[in-house]
């Protein structure tokens, strides 16, 4: 029982910490930036620190919103996607509880908690942001709880994204077949803190616990 409460507290700490950071960043961006406004994050930091050197230009805060999945991928209908996310989070939450209860490895529990919380963070946007905020535009900042109501019904809110890392931003050589002369950006997706939590959790699971996944699953299922 003591082990359960220790691992359970760790899982809850991860969940609350990631949720708070994710929502704080999103609300700050949503209410403090115009839609598609871009800030050179490293240049801003150089100014604050009084550094006079020319900053590298590979990290921007770029405010955008999407209806789709992680990294702005538009695949299925909005209501179906939000409903699917809620079901998925419920299933992952059930497994997380069982993993904690059965004393699985702490690192494994942290990874699952990261995936769960990342998905939950984007669900909050999808379910509530349309009601809580008005529309963000190129010319007006969004406000919290506007008098005239939000920009969309419940479950139809947009997910706020802001992290943009164009590590390589160039034009491909003209001699390259088919793509020569075209604009090329690596890494082009714009994502948020919740997306990062999901990605880090999944990558860590695959790197460090790939052999443990089936064992953990079987342990939970067989003991039920």
161 is catalytic: yes
40 is catalytic: no
Instruction: Give the C-alpha separation, 150 to 27, whole Å.
Output: 14
Residues in contact with 16: Cβ distance below 8 Å, sequence separation at least 6, in sequence order: none
Choosing from 22, 125, 134, 161, the catalytic residue is 161
What the block records as the tokens of 60 is 């921007």
Residue 65: CA atoms inside 13 Å, Cβ hemisphere, count? 26
Count of CB atoms situated within 10 Å of the CB of 113: 26
Residue with tokens 């535009």: 137
- Are 31 and 143 within 8 A, CB to CB? yes
Choosing from 22, 125, 134, 195, the catalytic residue is 195
- Active-site residues, by number, are 161, 195
């Amino acid at each position: 029982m003591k082990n359960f409460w220790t691992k359970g507290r760790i899982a809850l700490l991860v969940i609350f910490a990631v949720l708070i950071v994710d929502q704080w960043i999103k609300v700050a961006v949503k209410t403090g930036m115009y839609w598609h406004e871009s800030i050179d994050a490293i240049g801003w930091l150089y100014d604050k620190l009084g550094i006079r050197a020319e900053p590298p230009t590979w990290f921007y805060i770029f405010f955008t919103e999407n209806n789709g999945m992680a990294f702005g991928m538009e695949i299925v209908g909005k209501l179906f996607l939000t409903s699917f996310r809620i079901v998925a989070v419920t299933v992952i939450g059930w497994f997380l509880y069982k993993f904690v209860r059965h004393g699985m490895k702490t690192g494994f529990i942290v990874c699952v908690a990261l995936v769960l919380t990342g998905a939950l963070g984007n669900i909050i946007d999808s379910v509530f942001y349309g009601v809580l905020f008005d529309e963000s535009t190129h010319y007006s900042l969004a406000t919290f709880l506007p008098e005239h109501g939000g920009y969309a019904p419940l479950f139809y809110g947009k997910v706020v994204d802001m992290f943009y890392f164009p590590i390589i931003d160039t034009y491909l050589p003209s001699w390259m077949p088919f793509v020569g002369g075209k604009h090329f950006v690596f890494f082009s997706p714009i994502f948020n803190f919740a997306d990062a939590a999901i990605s880090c959790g999944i990558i860590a699971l695959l790197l460090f616990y790939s052999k443990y996944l089936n064992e953990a699953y079987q342990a939970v299922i067989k003991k039920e």
